[in-house]
Amino acid sequence: MKFADEYRDPALARTLVAEVTQLADGLAARRGRALQIMEVCGGHTHTIFRYGLKDLMPPSLEFVHGPGCPVCVLPMGRVDDCVAIAEHPQVIMTSFGDAMRVPGSNKSLLQARAAGADVRTVYSPLDALALAQQHPDKEVVFFALGFETTMPSTAMTVLQAQALGVRNFSLFCNHITIIPTVQAILDTPDLRIDGFLGPGHVSMVIGTRPYEFIAQRYQRPLVVAGFEPLDILQSLWMLLKQLDEGRCEVENQYKRVAGDAGNAPALDAIAQVFEVRDFFEWRGLGSIAHSGVRMRPAFAAFDAERKFSVPNLKIADPKSCQCGEVLTGALKPSQCRVFADGVQRRRLRGLPPVRPHPPGAQRGASGCGMRA
Amino acid sequence: MCLGIPGRIVAITHAPNKLAMVEVMGVRREINIACIVDEAHPVDRCVGDWVLVHVGFAMSRIDEREAQLTLEVLHSLGEAQAEIAAMRQAGTGNANATAIGGLS
């Protein structure tokens, strides 16, 4: 596949691993500890595990798997609300396949479907809109989740529904934003992370400038990275070069896709449809100020939270859950209390299951349900 | 959900709604291209463009020149590494080491 295969060359990967190893060994020796590099995005976690990059790294470099998996960080209360909407007899609930298995305090969407609710997997929110046009007697709800990568697609779908005058389509909005989240991690006491691999597809939407504060105020370098194995390795090398030379900058390895200014039509659609929430609840991280968005009042007719009554209960994370410590790099996934638990026990405890397909598979493989 | 995949626009299917047919590894699907068009690059110029496709939307036009530059950096790293490896090997070589030492 063009723009993918070129970035999978094993010989070049070996070269980069050698370079990264040399730099990491030197830096770790000077610091007296292993380097911790956080890949913010779940897509990067996926590449790191799929191509075995974790196993190619020297002991002097550890990956910390960041919060950038919208499925993993969704709290149970929001899933409960979604299930409550799905169980309404008039409703066809739609979402991406990844969202189907996330457990609520009682059941997942998949389990709601097994119990008789009309729950359907779609590839695109546009498919959900088409479904609404095909079923004018039903209310089609799209369970919208994801960071800025996915936000333009749902915003544009709502704008299209408005333009077409479709009245039986709405969003259950659970979109979250990356900057307040990374800031919350940076504000964690005893933070050990030495640098960040920046999320390539979020950056394609928001650009690279919103990260400047990370380099300037928090003195941590960040390299926006692509998703092929050589992209990750090259970005790591760029990050370690910065640390080695005492620089602290925002650099962009993924320039072929993500421009520094972001995508103007996408940002415009987001701004039209969504507004920032005061707080949004995260699994593992708790409540983070300004980290989520909701639909503007002008789009109330397309807002499932306004159209349907939802329980809106805050469900605490299970006591055994240590996702928060893992997310901030304080614990390795294997140190999590429930790392070795089986699928059934995790389900009983209300922890996310091991998901059979990426990116969740990598995170779920840890057994703590979120992180590998 | 969060992953994007490169595809090539093969036809415009509905210009006013900014819809186009994209081909990803032989699979065709209609997508929305509103995020990659502007006055400088209108809808009718998009056929043949390589784009990053995400949940039914073209989210970015892939910049072939930047893609090439990234690959060049990677290859130059590879060449530099090969050069250094060759130098190391030569440096640790028995007779050569003596010979070089002798010359200095």
Using pLDDT thresholds of 50, 70 and 90, give the confidence band for residue A207.
very high
Instruction: Give yes or no for residue A233 having a pLDDT over 80.
Output: yes
Residues 6+ apart with CB under 8 A from A220: A186, A193, A194, A195, A196, A214, A248
Using pLDDT thresholds of 50, 70 and 90, give the confidence band for residue A341.
low
Closest residue on chain B to A164 (Cα): B17
CB contacts, 8 Å: A160 with chain B: 17
Distance to chain A for B98, nearest Cα, Å: 28
User: What is the reported pLDDT for A241?
Assistant: 97
Beta bridge partners of A294: A275
How far apart are the C-alpha atoms of B74 and A94, rounded to whole Å? 42
What count of other Cβ atoms lies within 10 Å of the Cβ of residue A58?
16
Query: Given an 8 Å threshold on Cβ–Cβ distance, is B67 in contact with A99?
Result: no
Residues 6+ apart with CB under 8 A from B83: none
CB contacts, 8 Å: A266 with chain B: 35, 59
Instruction: Give yes or no for residue A347 having a pLDDT over 80.
Output: no
Closest residue on chain A to B70 (Cα): A253
Closest by Cα among A343, A342, A350 to A320: A350
Closest by Cα among B83, B44, B52, B32 to A127: B32
pLDDT by residue (tens digit) across A301-324? 999 999 998 887 777 776 667 777
Using pLDDT thresholds of 50, 70 and 90, give the confidence band for residue B84.
low
pLDDT by residue (tens digit) across A45-83? 999 999 999 999 999 999 998 888 888 888 899 999 999
CB contacts, 8 Å: B86 with chain A: none
pLDDT by residue (tens digit) across B53-74? 999 999 999 999 999 888 888 8
CB contacts, 8 Å: A269 with chain B: 34
Instruction: Give yes or no for residue A329 having a pLDDT over 90.
Output: no
Instruction: Give yes or no for residue A232 having a pLDDT over 90.
Output: yes
User: What is the reported pLDDT for A312?
Assistant: 79
Q: What is the mean pLDDT of residues A133-139?
A: 98
Q: What is the mean pLDDT of residues B39-60?
A: 95
Identify which of B2, B25, B73 has the shortest CB distance to residue A43: B2
What count of other Cβ atoms lies within 10 Å of the Cβ of residue B84?
13
Identify which of B50, B70, B73 has the shortest CB distance to residue A2: B50
CA atoms within 13 A on the CB side of A341: 25
- The conformation of residue B51, written as its DSSP 8-state character, comes to E
